[in-house]
Every structure is written in structure tokens, then in C-alpha cells.
Amino acid sequence: MEAKINMWRVGVDVGGTFTDLFAWEETSGKQVTAKVLTTRQDRSIAVLQAIEKAGIAIADISYLMHGTTTATNALIERNYPDAAFITTEGFRDTIEIGRQHRKHLYDPYQTKPKPIIKRRFRYTVPERTNVQGQTERPLDIAAAHAVAKRIKATGIQSVGIGFINSYVSARHEEQMRDILLEHCPDIHVVLSAETRPVFREHGRFMTTAVRAACMPVMVKYMDDLEARLTRHQFVGKLLILKSSGGVMAADAARQHPEDMLESGPAGGVAYAGYLTKQSGFERILHTDVGGTSFDVSIVEDGRGLITRDHELEWEVPIVVPMLDIHSVGAGGGSIGWVDPGGSLRVGPQSAGSEPGPVCYGRGGTQPTITDANLLLGRLDPTLSGKMALDVEAAEKAMANLAQRIGLSTLATAEGMIRIGCEYMASAVKKILVSRGRDPRDFVFASFGGAGALHACFVAKSMNIPKVIVPPHAGVASAFGATVMDLRQDLEHFYYTPVQSADLDKINGILSELEARAKAALTAQGFDDDSRIALIRTAQMRYVGQSYEVDTPIPNGVLTADSLPGIEQAFHACHLKEFGVSSEDFAPAFVSFSVAAIGDMEDPPPVAISRIAGADIVKGERDVYFEGVWTRCQVYDGEALGTQDSIHGPAIIEYEHACTVLPPQTHAHVNAMGALVIDIEY
């Protein structure tokens, strides 16, 4: 009898400093983790290094779920080949003018972000479609051919096409695409009507421009990654994390890089949703501290909140559905510096993986949050035997910074931690207040290699009473990748007051969206119809409002009897988001969305395998809290069981993370192996 081949389901998250891996074997349930430094020159190299470090043969991988910041980094750094954009005559500068908002109301010197597409590569053609989808002015064919010839002469690889009102009729965009491909058959062409068929041209145009700019970058990245995997006999499926909280096939990722702008953090949100099922916490504040950034989002009833008005930068909106994740430049690699006024500052500049924190001994000279934690005794100088940290170099760099602000080395290190934690707390406050939530109703979930070092301090400053550090918190986004489902999101614009809605039209829209969404999953290799869930939402607002609220709507055929329930659901959602609602004002539908979700298998529960009689205490060391050295016990996090209870101050070390329990905290391990910390007030 032929032996069964063990196959692995692998999640990989490529961050700014580290590349994390979590994997589980589908037959035995065995789980492994790995963490390597990100290879910035080619991030796909670190993916293979992490797999090798985990001891997994690439030929034995059935699914590789991959979260990457490649598209985001390319946009932030404006590091992509020149792209072009074709629009309606008179709208050449829409993507640069924006919505005429001001980031700082009273700052006369503020400047807009660098345009996604340079002005000299933005072209216009005469055409016009009205809001009913009727042609007011046919596309000028001669002008279209002239633009196509000019683009061919530039050698540009990708072009976005966005015409006014094309969300109701894409005829002119399709004509322009066909003409462009006549002259440039090998060029990437993206249409705004296919990217996101919604009104408000600035968001639609900008999202299309982002897609066009990123497409050559992501096509090359996917090609390089798949080529490397193929050379190592990879025969499984490569799935890429989406910003909306699911995964998609690599071919879909090539065509829709705009769906990957929060690809990495989305894995952490998925893990927070998994925590809801395993631990019963209905309201979780997901936080993730890596080497470069601090990410925070809200997870309720197992799902992350979705936004359709994400801003990559000021006045750079991305109007695809995305998890509402807020990020600030506060991570383990964030650099301490002194501003012109002589004040200590931290970040957003990061040492990243190259050169990394000073204590890594890779050429870094500026002190970071990691160096501060090391000097305060909160990090083991050997990282539990994995890496020798240079304490002397970190102390020298911190002393140089301390001298500039007139504080002691330790006071400066502790000041850096406090400032970094306050930045994190401000990000938490921003996302909770903007969504009308009370922090006291949430559990603070700490993810990332540097997360649990700071979690209790951040939670306490926000009056959040409980912190949870789940198993494999140091590679949480990679873990979350393995619990994500295949997902396809589609949207159709249709504005109408609810009471005068054409239900036949709405049912037709929803039926078409569901069919297309299911077909998209099938095209990506998911053909088990019984495991596909369809989630409907309507983007709704009060008549006369400018912004919409996502409102769930029931499955099946909608009838007149369905409308009162939909209206009440809208009032409830509006109240939850903004703290106010009114039945005196009529609600309206703006657009309809369908998410098709293909259910993927979850990993087996984490086994708590403490050996009877094993010592959970690894040793002791002095840790600096509030200006005083305190002798603290150091615990082995992997050895803790449900019967163990720990009172702070203490240090709990895991394979890829470290938890700091300050004074006035106590912790225990729950049934799923997560560390639950209660904070006293």
C-alpha cells in the first residue's frame, strides 16, 4: 500500500522587517512556525527562506497563502514603471485636484501627495455619457487613435481608462480599450467601469490609476515568486490575501493589485475573527506591532469592519471594500530622534530589516524601540538563543540620543517606549471614535513580534480592561492567512429612495452579482457549491446625505414586505456608526454589493502540551518600570497551562514574541492556549 504524502497548508506574511510563516500539516495537524528577515531587494526570496527554515519541502505544500506589502510599498515609494491614464476631455487633473479637502485646515504651506500618474502621461478624449447611461457625445474615434499612438511612442506598460459616468455605461471605455489594444497589443489596460462601477469620479479614477500603476509590479512579483516555487517542485495552489478579508488566486491578484493594499494586516484580522470562535470574545480590538508599523482594526462577531473610503494617503482614496485598518509608523524598528524644538520623537522612520535596530549588529546607528526594550531588560539579549543582541552598541546609540535631550540613557529609553505607546493609543482612539465604539467594550488582542511588549501599556491608556495574547502571536498574520476563505466582492450602483425602489430591478442586480461572484470563485478553483456563502449588503444613506452606511439585506427574492426590515436595519447601522438615527428621514439605496465566500478548512486547535512537572519559570532578570529596576521572573510561554496564574511584574517569553506584564496586571491561560491579561485600574 502506498504511503500517504503529508501535505502542508502554509501562511506567509511579508512585512517591512520580518517575514513570518505559520503552517499546519493536513493529516496529522502538526503546526510549525518560522521568522526570517525580509529581503527588501526581492521579497520573494524571504518567502522561500521562511519555508526552508520551517523544514517544509515546497513540493509538499498544498496551499500557500501569501500576504504581501509589495503593492503598498510600490505606491508609497512611487516605485513603479510609468503608467498612463485616459479620461474625458476637461477632467485631466481630477486625480490630482481631488476633493479639495485640506488635511490641516490652517496650514498654508501643505502640499498634496505626489500624483500616482504624472501629468504628462494623463490624456483626454472628447466623449460624454449622461447619468442615465445615454450617449450625449460619441467617443471621438480620431482623437482616441491619436492618443493610442502617443502612448505607444512612450513605451508605457499599463494604462487606466476612466470616463465620466462610465459606472452606468462602459461603452466608451470599452471602445477606447479596443482602439488602444490595436496599437499596443501587449499593454495592460484597466477600465474604471470594471475596477469599481460606482459614482464619484475621484475615487473611481484614483482606484483605477492605482490598479494601472501597480499591475506591472505585481505581475512581475507573482511571476518571480511562482517561478521560484516551480523550480522547487511546487504543485499546490498559491493564494494571495485580499484587503477585504479573504484570499484570491494568484492570477486574480495579478489583475487586481488594488485588492492587496492591506494584504498583510488582513491576516491578523482573520486571526482575530478566529479568536471569536475559539474564545467567545465578541468584540475584539485587533492590534499588530511589527518592525515598521502598528496596525489596529475592529472585529465584531467574528468579522472585521469594512470601509469603502480607505485612503492610501491624503486625498488618495481607494474605493474597493477593505478592512478598516488604521496604521501608524510605530513598530519595533521605529527610530528615536530629536525635533528642531529639542523634543524626543519616535518614528515614523524605521530601521526595517536593513540595517535594522542597532542591537542587531547589521550596521544600524540610530536607536529604535527594540533597542529601548533591550536596555530596559524587557528583551532577552539572546532572544531565547536565536540571535545575539549587541547590548553595548544599543546603549552607546541610546546614550548619544540621551545626551542631545539632557536625560539619562534609561530615561530616554523609557521615554521612547512611552511615546511609541502613545502613538499606538492615538491610533486605537482614532479608529474607535470614528466608528462610534467605546473602548471599554473591547478585548485588546495583541499580535506581532513586538505587540505584547507594549499591549498592556496601550490598553491601560485607553481604559481597556483585558488583553489577550493568542498562540503564535508573533506570526499572527501568517496564522490568520491559513484561516482565511476564498472571497470575491462585486458591487453595482443603483440609487433610489427605498420606498420608490424598483424591486424587479434590484432583484435582477443581486441575482447577477451573485452569479458573477460564484463564477469568479469557480474560475479560481473553488467548485464546491455547498461551501459557498453569499453575503448581501446595500450601501444606504438618508436622502440628502453624502456618505453611506453598509447595511445587511436578506437573501432570496426581495418583496415589498422586505423593505420595512431593511429600513430598520439601516437605522440600527446608522445609530451604531454615528450615534444617531431618525425615522423622520427617508432612507435610500445607493449601491448593492455581494461577497461570495468559499469556506476553507481551519487549522486544528492549538494543543496545550505542558509536560507534567516541567518548570514554567526560565529564570529571573531585572526589568525597568517607572524609573525603578524590579526583579522579575521570566516564564516559558509555551510551557504555561490552564492551571497557571501569573501576577505582574513579569516577563513571558514565546518562540517569536515576548509579553511584558507590568505591575497591577495578572494573567492566565485559557482553553485555547491564549494568554488572557486582566489590568487593574
Count CA within 13 A, CB hemisphere, residue 486.
28
Using alpha carbons, select from 169, 189, 489, 202 the residue that is nearest to residue 318: 202
The H or E element spanning position 476 is helix 476-481
User: By 3-state DSSP, what share of the chain in percent is helix, strand and coil, each rounded to 5?
Assistant: 35, 30, 35
Sequence ranges of the chain with CATH classification 3.40.50: 78-214
Question: pLDDT tens digit string along 298-351?
Answer: 999 888 998 888 888 888 889 999 998 888 888 889 999 999 989 999 988 888
Q: Is 405 exposed, middle or buried (0-12, 13-18, 19+ CB in 10 A)?
A: middle
CA gyration radius, the chain: 26
Q: Measuring CA to CA, how many Å separate 113 from each of 32, 117, 262, 401?
A: 42, 11, 19, 31
pLDDT over 50 (residue 1): no
DSSP 28-97: T--EEEEEEE--TT-HHHHHHHHHHHTT--GGGEEEEEEEE-HHHHHHHTT-S--EEEEEETT-TTHHHH
pLDDT over 90 (residue 168): yes
Most confident of 173-182, 307-316, 381-390: 173-182
**Hey, which CATH number is domain 78-214, 1.10.260, 1.10.287, 3.30.160, 3.40.50?**
3.40.50
Cell numbers placing 151? 502612448
Alpha-carbon span 320 to 214, nearest angstrom = 15
Which residues are CB-neighbours of 520 under 8 A, at least 6 positions away?
A: 252, 488, 490, 596
Please calculate the CA angle 369-371-376 and round it to the nearest 5 degrees: 95
pLDDT of residue 316: 87
pLDDT of residue 609: 59
Q: How confident is the model at residue 2 (pLDDT cuts 50, 70, 90)?
A: very low
Please calculate the CA angle 481-52-42 and round it to the nearest 5 degrees: 75
Count of positions (residues) in the chain: 681
Please calculate the CA angle 602-69-31 and round it to the nearest 5 degrees: 30
Using alpha carbons, select from 168, 166, 92 the residue that is nearest to residue 125: 92
Q: How confident is the model at residue 4 (pLDDT cuts 50, 70, 90)?
A: very low
- Side chain identity at residue 243, one-letter code: S
Is residue 31 a contact partner of residue 24, using CB atoms and an 8 Å limit?
A: yes
Beta strands in 441-586 (DSSP E): 443-447, 466-469, 486-497, 532-542, 549-552
pLDDT of residue 579: 86
Alpha-carbon span 337 to 367, nearest angstrom = 8
Question: pLDDT tens digit string along 216-264?
Answer: 999 998 999 999 999 999 999 999 999 988 999 999 999 999 998 888 7
Question: pLDDT tens digit string along 556-570?
Answer: 999 999 999 999 999
- The pLDDT mean for the chain works out to 91
pLDDT over 80 (residue 384): no
pLDDT over 60 (residue 363): yes
Most confident of 39-48, 73-82, 441-450, 508-517: 508-517
Q: Measuring CA to CA, how many Å separate 549 from each of 305, 569, 587, 594?
A: 11, 11, 11, 15
- β-bridge pairing 466-469 and 443-447: parallel
pLDDT of residue 563: 96
pLDDT over 90 (residue 415): yes
Is residue 333 a contact partner of residue 369, using CB atoms and an 8 Å limit?
A: yes
pLDDT of residue 610: 61
pLDDT over 50 (residue 455): yes
pLDDT of residue 347: 86
Sequence ranges of the chain with CATH classification 3.30.420.40: 8-75+219-260
As a whole number, mean pLDDT of residues 153-168 equals: 96
Q: Measuring CA to CA, how many Å separate 670 from each of 363, 391, 443, 445?
A: 42, 35, 14, 14
Let me know if domain 8-75+219-260 sits in CATH 3.30.420.40: yes
pLDDT of residue 112: 83
- CA quadruple 388, 368, 658, 629: dihedral, nearest 10: 90
Question: pLDDT tens digit string along 606-650?
Answer: 766 565 556 889 999 999 999 999 999 999 988 888 888 999 899
> Is 110 or 153 the better-scoring residue by pLDDT?
153
- Side chain identity at residue 460, one-letter code: K
pLDDT of residue 3: 42
Q: Measuring CA to CA, how many Å separate 156 from each of 117, 124, 215, 224, 322?
A: 12, 16, 12, 21, 29
Please calculate the CA angle 198-66-294 and round it to the nearest 5 degrees: 75
